[in-house]
Amino acid sequence: MLLKGKTTVIYGVGDSLGGAVAKAFAAAGARVFLTARRREKAEKVAREIAQAGGQAEVDAVDALVAREVDEHAARVVASAGTLDISFNLINIKDRQNTPLVEMEAADFVRPVETAMLTQFLTCTAAGRIMAKQRSGVILSLTATPGGIGYSRVGGFGPACCAIEAFSTNLAAELGPRGVRVVNLRSAGSPDSRPFREAVDRGGEKAKQFLEKIEADTMLKKLPMMSDIANAAVFLASDLAGKITGVTLDVTAGTTSALNYKEPSIAFIEK
């Protein structure tokens, strides 16, 4: 088991990627501390982990409030003795599918501010603890717009770029203390909640939209949530002990979006 004996904190656990990552970490042997702003969102995941023989504990934490983040991290260490892995997957409240020239400034700025605040609070809280331990792994997640230009992603694209830059800089500071910091970049998973909801709303047009995104990858497929979770398990493990300060691309080889057509996103706007 790659993460046997490791203590993991995951922020933003629910019925989508946060839950998938939590279950993958638990299956790999980690003791997982699940957090969400509303406790009940993470409790179902904790029950599923327990039923599978894993260890999971749940707490309500607003990952945008420094006091709550710091107090929870302290409780984790008091209970488990260490904090070995931290992964922030909260929703950054982005608005997409509106051209930048038509977007309200507040809608553009909100995801950037949210992403930077929550990443700073959770990553530095973990970093302070891990620096004293002289070990630990801090993970973050972005998406395709962190690496290439993509239309109608609003502030989400700049937020991805900011997260990736922050991850690299934090890695440079914490590396001498034995702490690794790595970002994962996904192309979006068809089985994640946002994509499922888009398909439910958009029907055939939504499916065509997904096909165009898949066509923009080298593998002509999109990564599923399990692909992202498995990559995170690897990065958090000792097998990736010399990987830090980089973004691991798990986009199935996103190209320059040459097959992407703006009209294909119209289904989301209606």
Query: 69-94, pLDDT tens digit by residue?
Result: 999 999 999 999 999 999 999 999 99
Average pLDDT over residues 184-200: 87
- Average the pLDDT over 146-162 and give the result: 93
Separation of alpha carbons 24 and 20, rounded Å: 6
> Is 26:4 a contact under the CB 8 Å cutoff?
no
% residues pLDDT > 70 (the chain): 94
The pTM score is 0.92
pLDDT at 199 over 80: no
Q: What is the CATH number of domain 7-189+223-253?
A: 3.40.50.720
DSSP 133-167: HT-EEEEEEEEGGGTS--TT-TTHHHHHHHHHHHH
End-to-end CA distance of the chain: 47
- SS3 string, 51-108, reads HCCCEEEEEECCCCCHHHHHHHHHHHHHHHCCCCEEEECCCCCCCCCCCHHHCCHHHH
pLDDT at 166 over 50: yes
Amino acid found at 18: G
pLDDT reading at 264 higher than 50: no
pLDDT beyond 90 at 241: yes
